[in-house]
């Protein structure tokens, strides 16, 4: 069965073009070894995507889902308490 190709929205195309520009212009990217992106879903949930290196220098990709901005902020407070040095934690 052949899958129907999805039409990419203009917004997603702009997102992808912007991310591509970071690769082409690394001076604009704040941290070339770690990327963190937040995407709001249609129902208002927040998807948090992390891509970066773990302790063994392997690239890891993780996703978290939060029901609201408040839940996301609560998680950030917990992470800051667990890692007061402010290091980046890949889940």
Q: What is the pLDDT of residue 1?
A: 54
**pLDDT at residue 48, as a whole number:** 92
Q: What is the dihedral of CA 72, 76, 77, 81, to 10 degrees?
A: 150
Per-residue pLDDT tens digits for 35-71:
888 999 889 899 999 899 888 989 999 999 999 989 9
CB neighbour list of residue 46: distance below 8 Å, 6 or more residues apart: 38, 39, 40, 65, 66, 67, 68, 69, 71, 72
- Please determine, for residue 12, whether its predicted confidence score (pLDDT) is greater than 80: yes
Whether the per-residue pLDDT at 81 is higher than 90: the answer is no
């Amino acid at each position: 069965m052949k899958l129907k190709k999805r039409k990419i929205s203009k917004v997603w195309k702009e997102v992808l073009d912007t991310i591509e520009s970071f690769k082409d212009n690394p001076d604009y990217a704040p941290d070339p070894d770690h990327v963190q992106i937040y995407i709001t879903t249609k129902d208002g949930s927040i998807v948090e995507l992390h891509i970066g290196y773990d302790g063994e220098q392997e690239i890891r990709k993780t996703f978290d889902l939060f029901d609201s901005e408040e839940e996301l902020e609560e998680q950030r407070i917990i992470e800051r308490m667990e890692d007061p040095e402010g290091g980046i934690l890949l889940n």
